[in-house]
Structure 1
Amino acid sequence: MSYWPLLGIAIVVVGFALRFNPLMVVVGAALATGVLAGFDLVAVIKALGKAFNDNRYITVTWIILPVIGLLERNGLQQRARAVIEGMRGATMGRLLVAYLALRQLTSALGMKDIGGHPQAVRPLVAPMAEAAAIKNHGDLSEEDRDKIKAMAAATDNVGLFFGEDIFFAIASILLIQGVFESAGYPMTPLQLSIWAIPTAICAFVIHGGRILAFDRRLGRARP
C-alpha cells in the first residue's frame, strides 16, 4: 500500500497554517492526492468537474448572500441591536445560550441551514450579543467586541456540529456507520443518533458554561 496519496492531508494542513486561499488549498490537495494515487491529471480534473456538476444545486444557497447584504445595508444589524436594547433582562450570556439551544434542536431535526455564519451570526446573533454586552457592561474595547463576535460564531459551530449527528438521515451519520461497519461493528443510523444525544448534552453544558463565564469576565473587567 502506498502512503503517498496521504500527502494531500499535509498540503491542507500547511496551506491552512500559512493562511493561503482555502479553495486553492483544497483543490491543490485533491489534485495532488489523485496524481499520487496513480490517476492521470486529466482524469482527476474530470472527476472534480463531474462532482461539481452533479452537486451544483448546492450553489443555489449562494443566492441568499446578496439578499443578506441588502438587508444589512438597509439597517438589519441596527434593528437587531435595537431589539435587544429594548428587552429587559437580556444579557449576552443568556442570548448566546438560547441560540445554542435553538441551533442544536433545529440541527437535530435536520434543519441545519436555519442558522449559519453568513445568514444568522453576522447579521443578527453577533450584533445582538454585542448590544446586550454593551447594555449590561458599558462601552467595550475593540478586542472585547471581536471576542464577542468570535464567541457568537463558535456557538453556531458547536450547536450545529453536536446537534446534526442526532438527525440520523445526515451524511455524517452515514459516514460514521460506514467506518464502524468496515471495522466489524455493524450499527444502524438510529443507534448512532441515539448515542449522539449524551454528547450533544455535554457540549451544550460545557459551551453554555463557557459563554456565561465569558459574560461574567466582561462584567468584572469594568467598574
Structure 2
Amino acid sequence: MQLIGILVIVAGFILKLDTIAVVLTAGVLTGFLGGMNIVEILDTLGSTFTTQRSMALFLLILPIIGLCERYGLKERATHLIQKLKGMSAGRIATLYLFIREIAIAAGVKLGQAEFVRPLIEPMAQGAAVSKYGTVDEKTEEDIKAMTAAADNLGNFFAQNIFVANSGVLLIVGTLEELGYQVDALSVANAAIPVAVIALIFGFIQNTLLDKKIAKRYAKKEGAK
C-alpha cells in the first residue's frame, strides 16, 4: 500500500496537475499509509528539504528565471533564433546536447530549469515558427519533449567523463570491493565513447523529428 504514492505521482503528471502539490500529496499519503503521524511526516519532509542543497539552489534560481521570463527573456531568445537562417528545432536540440555533454564533462551542471525551459525550448519553438509561420499544440509538445530529452541524454551519458563525478567514484569503489583494481581516469576514459554514441543517437533522433514536423506541415499545406 505504501507504493500508492507512485500511482498518485503518475496520475498527477498525466493529468498535468501542479507538480509540487502532486509530489507533496504523494509524500503525505505514503507517510500515513506507512504508519507515520503528521508530525513525523512534516519532520521528514523538513529534514529532507534542509539536507538537499540542490533543492534549495533550485528554489533560489526559480524566481530569477521567472523574473527573466517576465521581462522578455523568452521573447528575446525566440527573436534571436528567428534571425538565424537554416536553423531548426532539431538542430538546436542537437547543439544543446553537445554543449550539455561538454559542460557536464567539465563538471559544470546546467539543467532543464535553468536552461531548457527559459532558453533552449523557446529557441527551438522560434526556429519552428520561423520556418512554418505557426506551431500547433502537437508540435509544441514534440519540441518540449525533444529539448528535455537532449538535456537528459547529455547529463546521463556524459557525466562520468568528469573524474570527480559521484558515479565514477561509485564505480571505482564497487569494482575495488570486488577485487578489480581500477582508477577514476580509466572509468572516465571509458565513458567518452558512450557520450559520443549518445550524441550521435540524439542527432539522429532530432533529425527524424525535424522530418516528422516538416511532413506534418507539408500535409497541412497540401490540404489547403
With the shorter chain as reference, the TM-score category is: 0.7 to 0.9
Give the aligned partner of residue 60 of structure 1: 57
Give the aligned partner of residue 16 of structure 2: none
Give the aligned partner of residue 209 of structure 2: 214
CA distance, structure 2, for counterparts of residue 93 and residue 57 of structure 1? 30
Give the aligned partner of residue 144 of structure 2: 149
- The alpha-carbon deviation at position 82 of structure 1 amounts to 0.4
Cα deviations across residues 102-147 of structure 1 (Å, max 9, x unaligned)? Answer: 00001000001xx211111111100110110122233221111111
Give the TM-score normalised by structure 2. 0.78
Give the aligned partner of residue 101 of structure 2: 104
CA distance, structure 1, for counterparts of residue 190 and residue 108 of structure 2? 20
- The alpha-carbon deviation at position 58 of structure 1 amounts to 5.6
- The alpha-carbon deviation at position 25 of structure 1 amounts to 4.7
Cα deviations across residues 74-100 of structure 1 (Å, max 9, x unaligned)? Answer: 111111110011112222222111111
Cα deviations across residues 134-180 of structure 1 (Å, max 9, x unaligned)? Answer: 22233221111111011111111111111211101011212222332
Specify whether residues 70 and 44 from structure 1 end up closer, same or farther in structure 2 by C-alpha distance, changes over 3 A only: closer
Q: Is structure 2 residue 117 aligned with structure 1 residue 116?
A: no
* 1:31–1:45 contact (8 Å) kept in structure 2: no
Question: Which SS does the other structure have where 1:124 is aligned?
Answer: helix
Specify whether residues 44 and 190 from structure 1 end up closer, same or farther in structure 2 by C-alpha distance, changes over 3 A only: farther
Task: Map residues 1-223 of structure 1 onto 2, 5 A cutoff.
Answer: 14=7, 16-19=9-12, 21-22=22-23, 25=26, 53=50, 55-56=52-53, 59-112=56-109, 115-223=110-218
Specify whether residues 106 and 57 from structure 1 end up closer, same or farther in structure 2 by C-alpha distance, changes over 3 A only: closer
Gaps of 5+ in 2: 14-21, 219-224
Q: Percent same amino acid among aligned pairs? A: 34
Cα deviations across residues 152-210 of structure 1 (Å, max 9, x unaligned)? Answer: 11111111111211101011212222332333333222111111111111111011110
Q: Output the amino acid matched with 2:89.
A: M
Gaps of 5+ in 1: 1-6, 36-41
Between Structure 1 and Structure 2, how many residues are aligned? 208
Question: Which SS does the other structure have where 1:209 is aligned?
Answer: helix
Give the aligned partner of residue 18 of structure 2: none
Question: Which SS does the other structure have where 1:213 is aligned?
Answer: helix
CA distance, structure 1, for counterparts of residue 157 and residue 138 of structure 2? 28
